[in-house]
Structure 1
Amino acid sequence: MRAGRREWVALGVLILPLLLVSMDVSVLYFTVPFISQDLAPTSTEQLWILDIYGFVLAGFLITMGALGDRIGRRRLLLIGAFGFGVASAFAAYASSAPMLIGARALLGVAGATLMPSTLALIRNMFHDDKQRSTAVAIWTAAMTSGVALGSVLSGVLVEHFWWGSVFLINIPAMVLLLVLAPFLLPEYRNMAAGRFDLGSGVLSIAAVLPMIWGIKEIAAHGFGPYRAGAIVAGLALAVVFVQRQRRRPFPMLDLAVLRRPAFAGSVLVSLLATFAIVGFAMYTTQFLQLVLGMSPLEGALWSLAPTVAVGGAAPLAVRLVQAGVDRALVIGGGFGLAAVGFLVLSLLRPDSGLWVLLTGAGIYAAGLVVVMSIATELVVGTVPPERAGSSSALVETSSEFGGALGIAVLGSIGTAVFRARLDGVAPDAARETLSGALVAAGQMPGAAGAELVAAARSAFVAGLDVVAWAGVGLMVVAAVIAVTLLRGISLPKPDEAPAPVGVEEQGAR
């Protein structure tokens, strides 16, 4: 059964919460000075204000995906939309740092109800293979564009309004979703899934949160026993979670799905793609602001330029698949294109023109969006409809892990090169970060300060070059993995039969 106009309009409704959830990851980037002035957070509170949203979002994805399969995906989407709107209001008018941290945590919980529900409902609305591929490509483009748009929107709003305005924009969008969703979106729930397993939900959250926290803390502050211990504790709890799923008659996560090459391979390549795209993003922004000397807003606007290539990448990937090209070859080609982009970025020098950065970033981002689009389509198309919620949540959780690992690993590589290049050239305080070196240079007399600036920028770009070459190698390996694991895999024929026994499926009212 092919989707009609109602389903495509409904897709637009689904994209709205997805875009806002993605934007809230980066929407505070330019608000930190204003929040510091109004709420006077400590350094620890400031870090939690920025990070708590992503931590909670990642931790609750699997739990909320499984909950949606049981109580209804549209119902969970509406609950999440209401919660996201309320939490946005609390965040906008927070009168203290702890209150803002709490509101951001609630936003993370609500966001975790929205993301897997949107992707799972696409599985229910689009049964035709070609139409579903297009819908997933649109979903992927919206998710990846949201993070970039969030930082730009943040810069624009704080120039004209107070910092809380970055949260208030969520409210009318959530109201619109609450009004339209009951009329446009179908309801779907798995009646045979059994009662919600609260113990498994707690275990999944307890496993993911410490691992994400440990990885991000190591990226920010280096290796330490507490940070490593958090990762080990999370892994141990993950093992307990898996063992519990094996024993449960109605598991939260169907382990049989993980044994399918199409699903497991797609989760792996999605992780590798987000590892590269998130891990390198910090180098792009720092090059624009600290090497080329752009203002934060100017740098954010220029960082949107590569999204032009991204916008055309996902539809092109869909056309190639629809023309009969093996999905494994399309994914491998996407990784190959990303390798070319990283190769261009390895040519960057402190005096390189802006075009070198934008060209390289545009090429690698386009290649990785191709990968993420087709991998997500494979995940959605290969799992049974009744498992779409929890399975979608698993691939989104793997993407969160990929991003955290990318920041930790690629950030550590660049930092090591930066420090080595400045060893014996700059004081210890200037060898931590490029921004720290520029601050230290500003406190030195003219010639000495200028020399430190030049040395620090050269050291930073040397680290960027090494990271770019690491990206080239990783993308080549990822291409080989994708072709090996996914070659010849095709999606099952569209299921036009009535809903399986034990599954309740309702159209929009």
Structure 2
Amino acid sequence: MSTPTRPRTLFIPGAAPVRRWWALAVLMLPVLLVSIDNTVLNLALPQISEALSPSGTQLLWVIDIYPLVLAGLLVSMGSLGDRIGRRRLLLIGSAGFGVMSVIASFAPSIEWLILDRAALGIFGAMLMPPTLALLRSVFTDRNERRLAIAIWASGFAAGSALGPVVGGLILENGEWGSVFLLAVPLLLPLLVVAPLIVPESRDPNPGAIDVPSILLSLVTMFPIVFGIKTLADTGFGVAGIASIAVGLVAALLFVRRQRSLRVPMLDLALFRRGSFSGAVGVNFLSVVALVGGLFFVSQYLQLVLGLEPLAAGLVLVPGLLAMILAGLLVVPIARRVRPSVVVPAGLLFSAAGYTAFAVGGAGFGPAGVAVAFVALGIGIGAAETVSNELIVASAPPEKMGAASAVGETAYELGAVLGTTVLGSILTSAYRSAVVLPDGLGAGQRAAAGETLGGAVAVAADLPAGAGRMLLESAREAFLSGIGPTAWIGAGLVVVAALVGLVALRSAR
């Protein structure tokens, strides 16, 4: 008589519902990691500026290169997870992300840090698609799944709330590189517990791994974002326009190839569903607005108002907590009210928050920043929960990895463009308005003329009078860019609300 096969996990579908929620807790660890990493890095920008003396463009690349590489690989990795197993891909990505985080903490130059961030993007692309896809296989009841996704989505805001506090403590007592080590205590439990409690899932009839599709997805993302950055940095020119054109041609070739494959890496039929494409659009635009806001608010609190990193982080916490509460409270509302109503109504709060920054942000104290950020967080928290649930519900179970990756690509590409577009507008305004004192060396002029953080570092080495004049000019130059940047952020939120109103009309 044969011996029964021992189960590979402690998870038994349908037998112990509490285990589903333990699986959710494990799957939230990568979400917390990614969101903490992004928030902490924003807080560390002033110290990175002082320690490594980057140009304004290099400082933007430190933020942008990670989500850029990640966005380019998400669909490929989501499809790979469908083929080799989503849990297996999650474990590989977790191990690699932890190793590269340790290496990044000791980066000796800005170029080294940018390369490390690119490597983190490769392994980060293995983390996010499996988490959302595995939720579909764990939670088969839609009401349970909606709550699970709300909790999962709240992990982004929870990580963002923890990031400023924990990161502020670290930055006040250690070097900027130590913020990367936060990944280690989050990833070790995942590597130990996930094989025991998270069930494996995959596409039962996967196609072959298509290398040309992977390359085309990368060649689509990278040139487009690089071109936008170039145009924002230097104005309209051949390099920026040509780069965007290369990305668009690659996108057309990618679409053409997917249509020709018997089993495509990405099923383009998903985009014909308004609930799917509309939810992806809302994700993208709302994240552009959120990340762009974090980029200038974190610098405003520290470099203009003079707050220490921990104090600056605490100012942001109420808004991030508002994101969590809004994401959870929208669940019972979403059971009764159409997404085409819930999403635009929530995003009106975010538009109001950005409008407050645009009108009075340059004169805001910490309390004013906190209130405006609460309004911004309410709308985005509610919209992200509804849109993520629609992405999951719209896709067939066997293609959940690739479908989840599309939603994550929208999120990460939104993070890239949030920093690129809004950050570049702010940087351009700073460069055109800052007045540098006479007597600065070439290196000092380059550092102080590029970023506010660079000006703060240069001013510390100048005589008292010259340093004070440089700081006053640099802060005024930075403030001159907040109004236009915030108005563009408000416009992006309004467009996201319109997308939700029109595209989600058929979604229930």
1:127 match: secondary structure: coil
Map residues 437-476 of structure 1 onto 2, 5 A cutoff: 446=465, 457=475, 460-476=478-494
Residue 383 of structure 1 corresponds to 395
1:180, distance to aligned residue in structure 2 (A): 1.3
Residue 193 of structure 2 corresponds to 180
Residue 157 of structure 1 corresponds to 170
Q: TM-score, structure 2 length as denominator?
A: 0.84
Residue 81 of structure 2 corresponds to 68
RMSD: 3.5
**Aligned match for 1:317, one of 312, 330, 337:** 330
- Cα offsets for 1:267-288 (capped at 9, x unmatched): 1111110121112222212321
| Distance of 1:119 and 1:477 partners within structure 2 | 26
Flag the 1:458–1:77 CA change in 2: closer, same or farther, 3 A.
same
Q: Does 1:59 align with 2:77?
A: no
1:116, distance to aligned residue in structure 2 (A): 0.4
**Aligned match for 2:371, one of 350, 355, 359:** 359
1:205, distance to aligned residue in structure 2 (A): 1.9
| Distance of 2:64 and 2:119 partners within structure 1 | 13
| Distance of 2:48 and 2:489 partners within structure 1 | 35
| Distance of 2:77 and 2:365 partners within structure 1 | 46
1:453, distance to aligned residue in structure 2 (A): 5.7
Q: Does 1:104 align with 2:113?
A: no
Flag the 1:150–1:205 CA change in 2: closer, same or farther, 3 A.
farther
Question: Which stretch has the larger CA shift, 405-414 or 243-252?
Answer: 405-414
Residue 415 of structure 2 corresponds to 403
Question: Which stretch has the larger CA shift, 336-345 or 207-216?
Answer: 207-216
Question: Which stretch has the larger CA shift, 377-386 or 143-152?
Answer: 143-152
Flag the 1:149–1:469 CA change in 2: closer, same or farther, 3 A.
same
Matched residues, number: 486
| Distance of 1:287 and 1:191 partners within structure 2 | 51
1:89, distance to aligned residue in structure 2 (A): 3.8
| Distance of 2:178 and 2:320 partners within structure 1 | 25
**Aligned match for 1:329, one of 319, 333, 341:** 341
- Cα offsets for 1:385-410 (capped at 9, x unmatched): 11111111111112222233333333
Question: Which stretch has the larger CA shift, 372-381 or 15-24?
Answer: 15-24
**Aligned match for 2:282, one of 255, 269, 274:** 269
Which 5+ residue runs of structure 2 have no aligned equivalent?
Answer: 1-12, 439-444
Amino acid at match of 2:503: L
Flag the 1:424–1:75 CA change in 2: closer, same or farther, 3 A.
closer
| Distance of 1:130 and 1:22 partners within structure 2 | 26
Residue 290 of structure 1 corresponds to 303
Q: TM-score, structure 1 length as denominator?
A: 0.84
Amino acid at match of 1:328: S
| Distance of 1:102 and 1:477 partners within structure 2 | 34
**Aligned match for 1:484, one of 488, 496, 502:** 502
1:65, distance to aligned residue in structure 2 (A): 0.4
Amino acid at match of 1:485: A
Map residues 14-53 of structure 1 onto 2, 5 A cutoff: 14-29=27-42, 51-53=64-66
Flag the 1:279–1:105 CA change in 2: closer, same or farther, 3 A.
closer
Question: Which stretch has the larger CA shift, 448-457 or 5-14?
Answer: 448-457
Flag the 1:106–1:438 CA change in 2: closer, same or farther, 3 A.
closer
Flag the 1:103–1:476 CA change in 2: closer, same or farther, 3 A.
closer
1:190, distance to aligned residue in structure 2 (A): 0.8
Amino acid at match of 1:476: V
- Cα offsets for 1:319-350 (capped at 9, x unmatched): 2112x011111101111111222232234254
1:457, distance to aligned residue in structure 2 (A): 4.5
Flag the 1:250–1:41 CA change in 2: closer, same or farther, 3 A.
farther
| Distance of 1:104 and 1:409 partners within structure 2 | 20
Residue 369 of structure 1 corresponds to 381
Contact 1:25/1:53 (CA < 8 Å) preserved in 2? Answer: no
